Amino acid sequence: MPDIVIKTGDMIQFTFPPPTIIPPILAPVPLVGTGATVLVGNMPVCLLGDELPPPLRIPLPYTSPPFVTPGLGTLAVILTPANMTVLTLNGKPLLIKGGPFTATFTVTVPAMQPTPAGPVPDPLLVKPGTAQFIPSLMTVMAG
Residue 128 pLDDT grade (very low, low, confident, very high; cuts 50, 70, 90): very high
- What is the predicted pLDDT for the residue at 136? 87
Q: What is the pTM of this model?
A: 0.90
Give per-residue pLDDT as tens, 47-101: 999 999 999 999 999 999 999 999 999 999 999 999 999 888 788 999 999 999 9
12 found inside a domain: yes
142 found inside a domain: no
103 found inside a domain: yes
86 found inside a domain: yes
Structural domains of the chain, count: 1
49 found inside a domain: yes
SS (H, E, C) the chain: CCEEECECCCEEEEECCCCCECHHHCCCEECCCCEEEEEECCEEECECCCCCCHHHCCCEEEEECCEEEEEEEEEEEECCHHHEEEEEECCEEEEECCCCEEEEEEEEECCEECCCCCCEECCCCEEEEEEEEECCCCCCEEC
User: Residue 54 sits in which domain range?
Assistant: 3-137
50 found inside a domain: yes
63 found inside a domain: yes
Assess whether pLDDT exceeds 90 at residue 10. yes
Give per-residue pLDDT as tens, 26-46: 999 999 999 988 788 889 999
